[in-house]
Amino acid sequence: MNNSVLDREDYTKNTYSCQYLVVGTGAGAGVAGTLLAESGHDVIFLEEGGYYPTESYTSNISEMITHLYRNQGVFPFLGKPTIAFAEGCCVGGSTVINGALVCRTPPWILDEWQNDYGLKGYGQKDLEKYFGIVERDLHIVNHELEEKDNLDSLKLLRASEQLGWKCVMAPRAVKNCLNSNLCPTGCPSGAKQSTLETYIPRAIRNGARIFSRCRATKIIYSGNRAKKIIASITGNKSRHIEISFDHLVIGGGAVQTPHLLRRSGISKLAGRNLQFHMTLKVVARFKDRLDAEKGTIFTVQVQEFEREGLLIMASNLKPHYIAMTLSHYGNEVINKVLENYQSLGIFAAMIRPKSIAHIISWFGDQPIVFYRFDPEDLSRIKLALRRTASLLFQGGAIELYMPIAGIGVVRSLKELDRKFIGVKPGNIEILCLHVMSSCPMGYDSATSVINPDGKLWNMKNITLTDASVLPSSTGRNPQGTIMAFAHEIINRHIALS
Amino acid sequence: MTGIILENIESLKHYQTMQDKNSDTDKDILQFVSKVIIHLPWYFYLPVRVIATIIGLLCLIVTGHKLNLLSSEKRSSFLKRIRFIPFFSMLNKLVGSMAFLKLFDSLPFSPDY
């Protein structure tokens, strides 16, 4: 595999060429490049991040974050409050650092895209076969819960049963999971079926090459055809290479893809409608031991309020994450909480907000993401946290630490309701792990960036295949949706050409 | 920056235990946080640098010493007084989170919390 992966020092030429240049190696690009390589085309993947094979993964969280995340994990969305966004920047993209949840798109979201956005050919029946292929390729299983491991997830399951809430075993892309509890920093056992483990090796077996640490900075085009890409070598800004191609496939993610299009002067609409999920983390202390570090994340999912855009899951536990999550509480609280480390769990409430972000690409190499906090999201966040709290109290939690600055420890729902009064958006600690819809697909070139075949309206040979193409946010982990869309888009492309 | 890092971690029991066993902890954490800050996107890096410089200068003017050379008590008291400076809480949160990340990785013994 290594001979097919070029690194910083391997770019001995200034110009390269291929039939298909695929920007990115994550969920969308990984699928697209693999399908193209398997259909006999000459494919180059262009990846900004480095190539870190599974054998190089360690349990050293700070080191792995440095290797695998964009900006070492610090990418703020500017607004009030500032949102901490995290995305992968390595061969495999965010599939290497996510929680391995690969869900089908909720049917009502697909219906919404058909009815509200007029999107045809991407309905439940149309995508069914692709979901099946993705589930087979990624070895999707519903995680088995054991009585001794994943006790935090078991708490959610039991509490949901008691409350009569819908809670399901989550579909995860894992093979022989060893419960290392290190999903967000790369699975050291190789159990997580990221594109690094699945699609990319297939592409390489079919002759694809990977240009790692190589960032696409500009698309050069003439008329309605893109000709080549200028790419800079990461860590050596003065060094550039040019790659010419017959067709360009972009799957750089919902922030970087519109940024590249805007910087190249190809689309003004790209990046104006960035939708995302908000994740709120709650630390809970239980009476009994949980040993939540022994286990893995997101094994069960509370879906009772999914239609309202709320999912509740158990996140992974490490002292690092406890300290970071509680940094707004101060060290006295962190010390006290860590004394009871074995009884702690971190839980995540993920919501589908109304707030929308947009991307500015005028300055410098990096995009700036601004968002406006929609006032309705405040009540949505409070409701999400209240429901999470009631579930955790039902499960036996005795103390909750909320992602809200200044409200202190919460020991009952009544206390939480009282403390919610006067909470302002600026007090809330929000994370974002899923971004979508910044180059939406549609039938009208005035409101969408790409047509239903995945091609840019104004360019004959540029196709998009990442989360940016989704008409709106999915309300669930979007990897399954991105991969199913990538299959459909590339199959249409192969059929048409 | 060292002063703000120390302020964030010194009162952690974990840090105190580690200090007994490994004197390189401070250096490792400082290097890691500095590396993260250098790699921030420019629009985040600039305000972070500006605010860190302003805090450093203010400390020099008010106390006559660099922030990292102040005693723990004096440093805490100074930082409490300036916590209303715009962007200070952002800087503090960023530095604190990164310092925690490295601190808990630098654990030279098996955890027993």
Report pLDDT for A2: 64
Rounded to an integer, the average pLDDT of B87-91 is 83
Rounded to an integer, the average pLDDT of A475-480 is 96
For residue A198, list its beta bridge partners. Answer: none
CA distance B25 to A384: 39
CA distance A328 to A431: 14
Report pLDDT for B113: 44
- pLDDT exceeds cutoff 50 at A77: yes
| H or E segment and range at residue A120 | none
Name the closest residue on chain A to residue B107, using Cα atoms: A60
Report pLDDT for A157: 92
Give me the residue from B12, B13, B94 closest to A74, CB to CB: B94
3-state class (DSSP) for residue A75: strand
- Per the CB < 8 Å rule, is A324 touching B32? no
**Beta carbons within 10 angstroms of residue A305's beta carbon:** 17
Tokens representing A339? 């004394």
pLDDT band at A20 (very low <50, low <70, confident <90, very high): very high
User: What's the pLDDT tens digit per position in A91-110?
Assistant: 999 999 999 999 999 999 99
Report the b/e string of A39-75 with b at 16+ CB within 10 A. Answer: eebbbbbbbbbbbbebeebeeebbbbbbbbbbbbbbb
Nearest to A258 by CA among A492, A480, A443, A23: A23
Residue B73: exposed, middle, or buried by beta-carbon count in 10 A (0-12, 13-18, 19+)? exposed
Percent of chain A with pLDDT over 70: 98
- Distance between terminal CA atoms of chain B? 28
The CA distances from residue A392 to A1, A158, A275, A395, A401, in Å, are 46, 10, 29, 5, 11
- Per the CB < 8 Å rule, is A363 touching B43? yes
Q: How far is A414 from chain B (nearest CA, A)?
A: 29
DSSP A363: S
Q: How far is B7 from chain A (nearest CA, A)?
A: 10
- pLDDT exceeds cutoff 50 at A416: yes
Nearest to B93 by CA among A327, A487, A467: A327
Residues of B in contact with A335 (CB under 8 A): 11-14
- Per the CB < 8 Å rule, is B41 touching A75? yes
How many CB pairs below 8 Å do chains A and B form together?
82
pLDDT band at B22 (very low <50, low <70, confident <90, very high): low
Report pLDDT for B11: 79
Q: What sign results for the dihedral spanned by CA atoms A413, A418, A421, A426?
A: negative
- pLDDT exceeds cutoff 90 at B112: no
Residue A279: exposed, middle, or buried by beta-carbon count in 10 A (0-12, 13-18, 19+)? buried
Give me the residue from B41, B43, B100 closest to A323, CB to CB: B100
User: What's the pLDDT tens digit per position in A272-289?
Assistant: 999 999 999 999 999 988
Tokens representing A266? 């190809």
Residues of B in contact with A369 (CB under 8 A): none
3-state class (DSSP) for residue B95: helix
For residue A142, list its beta bridge partners. Answer: A171
Q: How far is B60 from chain A (nearest CA, A)?
A: 26
Domains in chain A, ordered, with CATH?
2-51+103-137+196-270+437-496 (3.50.50.60), 141-183+278-432 (3.30.410)
- pTM value is 0.94
- Per the CB < 8 Å rule, is A327 touching B35? no
User: What's the pLDDT tens digit per position in A232-275?
Assistant: 998 887 899 999 999 999 999 999 999 999 999 999 999 999 99
